[in-house]
Structure 1
Amino acid sequence: MTEYDGVFFDIGGVILDLTSVKDGHVDFLTRLAEQEGVENVETFIEEWRSTLGTYFRERNGTEYRRAKTGYQHAVDTAIGYELPEPKWMPAFEAASTTCLEPNPAAAETIRTLDRAGLYLGVISDIDTWEAESMLAQFDTADRFDHITTSEEVGRTKPDRAIFETAIEKAPIEPEQCLYVGDRYEHDMKGGSQIGLVTVAYGGSATEHADSAAVDHVIDDLGELCDLVGL
Structure 2
Amino acid sequence: MTDDAAHATDTEAVLWDIGGVLVELRSVREGYAAFVAELAADAGRDPDAALETWQSVLGDHFRGREGNQYRLARDGYEKATAALFDGDPPADWLETFEAATKPALRPEPGAVETVEALAEAGYRQAIVSDIDTPEAHRMLEAFGIRDRFDHITTSEAVGYTKPDERMFQDALSALDVAPERAVMVGDRHSHDVTGAAALGIRTVGYGEEAWGDQADHEIEDLREILELLGVES
Which TM-score band applies after superposition, normalised by the shorter structure?
over 0.9
Select which of 1, 13, 30 maps to 1:6.
13
- Relative to structure 1, the CA distance from residue 32 to residue 203 in structure 2 (aligned partners, 3 Å threshold; closer, same or farther) is farther
Q: Give 2:38's match in structure 1, choosing from 16, 20, 31.
A: 31
**Aligned match of 1:195:** 200
Aligned positions, number:
224
Q: Tell me by how many angstroms 1:163 deviates.
A: 1.1
Report what 2:58 is aligned to: 52
- Specify the code of the residue in structure 1 equivalent to 2:125: L
Per the TM alignment, residue 42 of structure 1 is displaced from its structure 2 partner at its CA by 1.3
Structure 1 residue corresponding to 2:110, chosen from 105, 113, 121:
105
> Aligned AA for 1:34?
A
In structure 1, what is the equivalent of residue 161 of structure 2? 156
What TM-score results when the alignment is normalised by the length of structure 1?
0.94
Structure 2-normalised TM-score? 0.92
Partner secondary structure for residue 92 of structure 2: helix
Match of 1:70 in 2: 76
Deviations 1:197-229 (A, max 9, x none): 0000014112x2xx0x11001111111111112
* Structure 1 residue 3: Cα displacement: 4.6
Which residues of structure 2 form unaligned runs of 5+? 1-7
Which of 156, 174, 181 in structure 1 is aligned with 2:186?
A: 181
User: Which residue does the alignment assign to 1:120?
Assistant: 125
Identity of aligned residues (%): 42
Counterpart of 1:144 in structure 2 is: 149
Q: CA deviation at 1:91?
A: 2.3
Aligned CA RMSD, in angstroms, stands at: 1.3
Distance 2:154 2:45 in 1: 37
1:90 Cα offset (Å)? 2.7
- Check whether the contact 1:4–1:229 (CA below 8 A) recurs between aligned residues: no
Deviation at 1:25, TM superposition (A): 0.7
Q: Find the aligned partners of 1:191 and 1:68 in 2 and give their Cα distance.
A: 26
Q: Is the 8 A contact 1:14 1:180 kept in 2?
A: yes
Q: 1:171 deviation in Å? A: 2.2
Distance 1:97 1:44 in 2: 20
* Misfit runs of 4+, over 3 Å: none
Contact 1:15 1:107 in 2 (8 A): yes
Alpha-carbon distance in structure 2 between the residues aligned to 1:54 and 1:97: 24
Using the alignment, how far apart are the partners of 2:168 and 2:76 within structure 1? Answer: 24
Structure 1 residues 38-47 or 24-33, which shifts more?
38-47
- When residues 101 and 114 of structure 1 are mapped into structure 2, their CA distance, relative to the original with a 3 A threshold, is same
Deviations 1:168-214 (A, max 9, x none): 111221111110000011011001011110000014112x2xx0x11
